[in-house]
């Protein structure tokens, strides 16, 4: 399934993509199905099994997903159906405002330097290689077609990635069981203020054994809107091979990043295992997998979103494409 979070007014809803390209309201559709079966409290039951928020649906687990599947079959056979109180079920994609699939995750883990080409040549601590990561704050998240707001902080660039959405809580998760914790995948751009990192977000620590330069991702990765995602949350059964999906970023139509999930050094099950040794996962938490390199002739560190303006497109095979206007702000 391809799920989404959307609004038609102030209230958020969960949608599912139908074969005809329309988005169906999963909650209202399930309520209509239950009413057709004679349930006296159809809407109340739908609010429990298929809540109108993505984290609620994720928390419903296999029961919620099965209900959405049954709802899709019902709606395919009943294209004129409406909710128990007459509410619409079907919307054209141009009639709704897409949000990020999980608008308010509790945590966003971003894996650093996970591209094999970069990881292999990077200086690393001694011992067995391990993932490196930072945590983006929830206010970074913005929708798939919303503006990326960039202050005057120097070069801010693109980092096109795949993000996994966690489906259930847990800690100390064995790698062999980690696949069962993935609810789905989405497109993410880990927008990064490269120049800010290099000029302001570091300090030299004076130590007896020698000076060490330290840098922290708390600011240059975490401005509001620096994590556009969407438009779809794609369940794993819809993806032929998540470890072989092409990734592209285009700035005003020009290719600025290209690669594949096959380029990732650490695969998602191991990342889930590794992260869970330190952090307790909650449903809706996000792991962004790592970015890809630039094509010949493009300097990755010089991709200047604010200076170029226009639109940044981030596309992942089998997952979809987000298109975010660049908005310079004071």
Instruction: For 299-326, write each residue's pLDDT tens digit.
Output: 999 999 999 999 999 999 999 999 999 9
pLDDT at 169: 96
pLDDT at 310: 98
Average pLDDT, the chain: 96
- CATH number at 192 reads 3.90.850.10
Per the structure block, which two tokens stand in for 3? Answer: 């799920």
Q: Is the pLDDT of residue 119 over 90?
A: no
pLDDT at 64: 95
Strands 320-328 and 311-316: antiparallel
Residues 108 and 201 in one domain: yes
Residue in the structure block whose two tokens are 């019902």 = 74
Q: How far is residue 79's CA from residue 68's CA, in Å, rounded to a whole number?
A: 16
Residues 34 and 93 in one domain: yes
Q: Is the pLDDT of residue 54 over 90?
A: yes
pLDDT at 125: 84
Residues 139 and 162 in one domain: yes
Residues 212 and 300 in one domain: yes
Q: Which domain holds residue 298?
A: 100-328
Q: How far is residue 148's CA from residue 140's CA, in Å, rounded to a whole number?
A: 10
pLDDT at 270: 98
- Name, in order, each residue with C-beta under 8 angstroms of 100's C-beta and a sequence gap of 6 or more: 5, 141, 142, 143, 144, 186, 227, 228, 229, 230
Q: Is the pLDDT of residue 118 over 90?
A: no
Residues 106 and 44 in one domain: no
The rounded Cα 277 to chain-centroid distance in angstroms is 22
Q: Is the pLDDT of residue 128 over 90?
A: no
Total structural domains in the chain? 2
SS3 content of the chain, % helix, strand, coil (to 5): 25, 30, 40
Closest CA to 31 of 50, 18, 16, 14: 50
- Name, in order, each residue with C-beta under 8 angstroms of 133's C-beta and a sequence gap of 6 or more: 109, 110, 111, 112, 275
Q: How far is residue 17's CA from residue 31's CA, in Å, rounded to a whole number?
A: 17
Q: Is the pLDDT of residue 266 over 90?
A: yes
Residues 169 and 65 in one domain: no
Residues 139 and 13 in one domain: no
Residues 222 and 304 in one domain: yes
pLDDT at 264: 97
pLDDT at 117: 84
Q: Sorting pLDDT into bands at 50, 70 and 90, what band is 206? A: very high
Q: Is the pLDDT of residue 135 over 90?
A: yes
pLDDT at 63: 94
Contact indicator for 84, 35 with CB cutoff of 8 Å = yes
pLDDT at 15: 98
Q: Sorting pLDDT into bands at 50, 70 and 90, what band is 122? A: confident
Q: Sorting pLDDT into bands at 50, 70 and 90, what band is 165? A: very high
Which of 98, 122, 156 delimits the end of a domain?
98
Strands 311-316 and 246-251: antiparallel
Which of 73, 98, 123 delimits the end of a domain?
98
What does the CA dihedral 116, 118, 122, 128 come to, rounded to 10 degrees? Answer: -20
Contact indicator for 52, 4 with CB cutoff of 8 Å = no
Which of 49, 80, 98 delimits the end of a domain?
98
Q: Sorting pLDDT into bands at 50, 70 and 90, what band is 120? A: confident
Bridge partners for 52 per DSSP: none
pLDDT at 192: 98
Q: Is the pLDDT of residue 76 over 90?
A: yes
pLDDT at 294: 96
Residues 32 and 122 in one domain: no
Residues 77 and 117 in one domain: no
pLDDT tens by residue, 287-303 = 999 999 999 999 999 99
Contact indicator for 321, 314 with CB cutoff of 8 Å = yes
Residues 234 and 206 in one domain: yes
Q: How far is residue 249's CA from residue 206's CA, in Å, rounded to a whole number?
A: 40
With 0.85 as the threshold, say if the pTM is over it.
yes
pLDDT at 69: 96
Residues 175 and 63 in one domain: no
Q: Sorting pLDDT into bands at 50, 70 and 90, what band is 124? A: confident
Q: How far is residue 255's CA from residue 298's CA, in Å, rounded to a whole number?
A: 9
């Amino acid at each position: 399934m391809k799920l989404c979070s959307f609004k038609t007014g102030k209230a958020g809803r969960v949608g599912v993509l139908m074969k005809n390209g329309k988005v169906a309201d999963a909650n209202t559709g399930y309520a209509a199905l239950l009413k057709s079966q004679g349930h006296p409290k159809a809407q109340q039951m739908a609010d429990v099994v298929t809540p109108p928020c993505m984290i609620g649906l994720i928390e419903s687990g296999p029961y919620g997903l099965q209900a959405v599947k049954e709802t899709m079959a019902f709606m395919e056979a009943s294209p004129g159906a409406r909710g128990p109180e007459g509410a619409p079920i079907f919307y054209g994609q141009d009639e709704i405002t897409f949000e990020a699939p999980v608008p308010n995750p509790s945590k966003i883990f971003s894996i650093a330097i996970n591209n094999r080409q970069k990881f292999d040549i990077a200086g690393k601590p001694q011992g067995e290689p391990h993932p490196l990561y930072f945590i983006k704050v929830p206010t970074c998240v913005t929708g798939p077609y919303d503006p990326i707001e960039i202050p005057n902080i120097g070069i801010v660039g693109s980092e096109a990635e795949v993000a996994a959405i966690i489906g259930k809580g847990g800690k100390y998760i064995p790698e062999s069981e980690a696949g069962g914790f993935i609810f789905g995948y989405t497109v993410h751009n880990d927008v990064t203020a490269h120049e800010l990192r290099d000029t302001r977000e570091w300090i030299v620590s004076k130590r007896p054994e020698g000076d060490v330069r330290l840098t922290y991702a708390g600011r240059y990765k975490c401005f509001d809107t620096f994590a556009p995602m969407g438009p779809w949350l794609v369940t794993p059964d819809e993806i032929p091979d998540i470890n072989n999906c092409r990734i592209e970023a285009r700035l005003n139509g020009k290719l600025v990043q290209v690669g594949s999930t096959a380029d990732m050094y650490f695969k998602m099950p191991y990342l889930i295992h590794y992260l869970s040794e330190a952090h307790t996962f909650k449903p809706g938490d996000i792991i962004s997998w790592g970015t890809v390199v630039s094509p010949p002739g493009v300097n990755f560190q010089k991709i200047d979103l604010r200076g170029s303006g226009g639109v940044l497109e981030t596309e992942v095979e089998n997952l979809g494409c987000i298109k975010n206007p660049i908005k310079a702000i004071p």
